[in-house]
Structure 1
């Protein structure tokens, strides 16, 4: 990726997250990135592709961040599941003051035909799969494992939304403690 393209993605990411995808035009992205509109279109082809690249980059960075945190945790669900919540808490403190970027993007892009839709829903499906992998064999049977994974996903996603709304302190920490209770009850 060229330095200009990287600046476009950085500017777009900041602007999309702070102001919303539909509220930000290519003129503003180009100006913030210090490139011409022609350069933006030469590198990305369209605003939709900038959105795709922004979300894909954010997802890739989140997955790497979470993988590093999970490597530090013991593999048992009692350690690995809270580690997901702790990673989300750390990520949100530095990068997501307004809540989850994928949830925010989905509020604006709900059409399955949009090229960014698969990235948004794919990230959430990946998170559900991660929770399923982390708790596999923890509950009495496979269906109970699946219910536990879905409950953990709901806790996690709700905590991210509550964090973005700022209605009460430390929703991600509270969700982590609820996750611990769910794990204890299921095991």
Structure 2
């Protein structure tokens, strides 16, 4: 075993009690992909930054695409876990709960470390609609639509729940997109107010 291989092996062993090798690779790739883009970051960079051997990476992730998909699946889990925490801690009144979710989104996209929605970033990086990473991104969008519809269905008096759901989806999508360019001063600061106006318009129909 070469000195560099021994060093990596020792590093991997040292990390084992608190972070598995797989998690170390995954967390490193997640950070790099988000900061630099999935196209810009190669497997060699992930190996170097994580301090693991390339054979270890390929043992867990047989290809770069497989690694990208694993990263997105973890992003997906974390996103809905955050959504569920917001739901559990918010006022159960339907409009108040909707506002709580939208407030959380506005706060997230206004943060200093925000560099776009990771799922939107991937759809921009891969043109093939059947790319496995794009399929995960599509799942997230459909799930967001489903969750928004669930919130809308609980608001009494909405005349066209499908229309309102699509309008809210467009607002959220716009907040993610605009904040990437305009930062904390982007239109996401009006996300809750815009959603309130849409709900009020539905109730007046």
TM-score (norm 1): 0.90
1:30 to 1:11, Cα distance in 2 relative to 1, 3 A? same
* 2:99 is the counterpart of 1:79: no
Q: Structure 1: how far apart are the matches of 2:129 and 2:113?
A: 25
Aligned CA RMSD, in angstroms, stands at: 2.0
> Which residue of structure 1 aligns with residue 83 of structure 2?
66
Query: How far did residue 94 of structure 1 move?
Result: 5.1
Determine which structure has more spread, i.e. the larger CA radius of gyration.
2
**How many residue pairs are counted as aligned between the two chains?**
185
Is the CA contact 1:85–1:172 (under 8 Å) kept in the aligned structure 2?
no
Counterpart contact for 1:77–1:183, Cα < 8 Å:
no
Gaps of 5+ in 1: none
C-alpha separation between the residues in 1 aligned to 2:52 and 2:44?
10
Return closer, same or farther for 1:93/1:175 CA change in 2, 3 Å cut-off.
closer
Tell me the residue number matched to 2:190.
Answer: 174
Match of 1:147 in 2: 163
Unaligned 5+ runs, structure 2: 1-15
Alignment of 1:148-167 (within 5 A): 148-166=164-182
Answer yes or no: is the 8 Å Cα contact 1:69–1:84 preserved in 2. Answer: yes
Inter-partner Cα distance in structure 2 for 1:126 and 1:166? 26
**Any idea what the Cα deviations from partners look like across 1:96-115, whole Å, max 9, x if unmatched?**
51121111111012323211
Which structure is higher in RCO with an 8 Å CA cutoff and minimum separation 6?
1
- 1:27 is matched with 44
TM superposition shift of 1:170 = 4.6
Write out per-residue CA displacement over residues 137-175 of structure 1, whole angstroms, 9 at most, x where no aligned residue.
53544xx10000000000001011111112671532311
